[in-house]
Copies of this chain bind each other. A is one copy, B any other.
């Protein structure tokens, strides 16, 4: 790349795209031209990035033929898996390095899966000119976990998630708001079936009502009763940490929170751990905020972490029955570090070279 690189944002009008344009406007500006793309439905809309109004271009065969990807150095994709599978190779073939947030390439051994604080080096080997960003649930914990792994050597993980609705996009947020307006101000929530009756079939992108409820399901059904998001957290954690046989047990659960995922983490290490040393590591790790003083009512919650960049970590305890295990509670904004921010950070890494 000579001069300032040209950036494309594909999926600019979605929940993640919206946050991404804000992040690109706030961070140190290393970009030349920024081009915005979305589905034909959103074409022609004008969005503001870095204070400039920019027209959204439809991602179509005609547009491709007209050369809309020509000269793009780096393309950030946040689109559904099937759209990514179709269009990421198109952008790569046109000469861009693609940083993709879909699930389409995360398991591809020729596509590095990158979290800059943990495995920045991996971004350099990208034979398909594609770099993948992990799923938001993995990103909630992986920065803190990577720092602890570097010191203690991770040996086993048991994780439960408390996932916000916005990882199902704006449709997920609208579903929760609609359901909340149906149940707020009522006496619902104590009788058999009353929430279900109030919400009706209007569960949006979720399997069950999420207002006044928690739903132990996220993603598609895989073998033996596992959900795709549970499998993804296991596989992605193994890839990012370079621990291909790490035992990982996960249960993913949706909760009525708009934005910011939370996770409980039971992490067993090779060596004996101390809470003091774990706190020191977390207090100084880039991208992590330690928020852990329960005597003063200090522990992370989504209401604290939302709209911020770092992973918030608290409730740091050593397991009472195992001196090699730590318990953590971690919160992270699923639209920021869980998606848009990690894309922007990877793009900056790529732009910084060396090629």
Q: Does A316 contact B (CB under 8 A)?
A: yes
Q: How far is the CA of A192 from the CA of B224 in the complex (A)?
A: 39
- Closest residue of B by beta carbon distance from A329: B216
Do A249 and B303 have beta carbons less than 8 Å apart?
Answer: no
Count chain B CB atoms within 10 A of each CB in A183, A189, A266 and give the residue with the most.
A189
Do B213 and A301 have beta carbons less than 8 Å apart?
Answer: yes
Do B234 and A320 have beta carbons less than 8 Å apart?
Answer: yes
Q: Does A239 contact B (CB under 8 A)?
A: no
The interface bits of chain A over 281-325 (1 if a CB of B lies within 8 angstroms of the residue's CB, else 0) are 000000000001011010111111011100000111111111001
Contacts of A317 in B (CB 8 A): 224-226
Do A303 and B162 have beta carbons less than 8 Å apart?
Answer: no
Asked whether A212 and B256 contact (CB < 8 A) given A294-B217, A295-B221, the answer is yes
Distance of A196 from chain B, by nearest CB (Å):
5
Instruction: State the copy count for this chain.
Output: 2
- Closest residue of B by beta carbon distance from A335: B190
Do B227 and A162 have beta carbons less than 8 Å apart?
Answer: no
Do B307 and A192 have beta carbons less than 8 Å apart?
Answer: yes
Q: How far is the CA of A217 from the CA of B314 in the complex (A)?
A: 11
Q: Does A177 contact B (CB under 8 A)?
A: yes
Contacts of A189 in B (CB 8 A): 173, 257-259, 306
Distance of A272 from chain B, by nearest CB (Å):
15
Asked whether A303 and B195 contact (CB < 8 A) given A248-B321, A266-B249, the answer is yes
Contacts of A207 in B (CB 8 A): 297, 299
- Closest residue of B by beta carbon distance from A192: B307
Contact of A214 among B162, B185, B227, B246 (CB under 8 A): B162
Do A321 and B247 have beta carbons less than 8 Å apart?
Answer: yes
Asked whether A321 and B162 contact (CB < 8 A) given A258-B190, A301-B214, the answer is no
- Closest residue of B by beta carbon distance from A184: B184
Do B217 and A266 have beta carbons less than 8 Å apart?
Answer: no
Q: Give chain A interface residues in 230-276, CB to chain B under 8 Å.
A: 234, 245-249, 251, 253, 255-259, 262, 264, 266, 275
Contact of A181 among B184, B216, B224, B301 (CB under 8 A): B184
Asked whether A190 and B307 contact (CB < 8 A) given A225-B292, A225-B317, the answer is yes
Distance of A59 from chain B, by nearest CB (Å):
26
Do B255 and A255 have beta carbons less than 8 Å apart?
Answer: yes
- For the complex of A and B, list the 6 residue pairs with the smallest distance between their C-beta atoms, beginning with the closest: A189-B258, A247-B321, A184-B184, A192-B307, A160-B160, A160-B264
* Chain A to chain B contacts (Cβ below 8 Å), 26 pairs: A158-B266, A180-B180, A180-B184, A181-B184, A188-B258, A191-B307, A192-B306, A192-B307, A209-B301, A212-B256, A212-B257, A212-B302, A212-B303, A213-B302, A214-B255, A215-B301, A216-B262, A216-B264, A216-B301, A224-B317, A227-B294, A245-B321, A246-B321, A247-B322, A249-B327, A253-B262
Give me 17 other A-B pairs in contact (C-beta within 8 A), A177-B185, A180-B183, A253-B264 excluded: A158-B266, A162-B253, A166-B190, A180-B180, A189-B259, A190-B259, A192-B307, A209-B301, A209-B303, A212-B302, A213-B302, A215-B299, A215-B301, A216-B299, A249-B266, A251-B264, A255-B256
Q: Please give the residue numbers on chain A whose beta carbons come within 8 Å of chain B beta carbons, in ascending order.
A: 158, 160, 162, 166, 173, 177, 180-181, 183-185, 188-196, 207-209, 212-217, 221, 224-227, 234, 245-249, 251, 253, 255-259, 262, 264, 266, 275, 292, 294-295, 297, 299-304, 306-308, 314-322, 325, 327, 329, 335
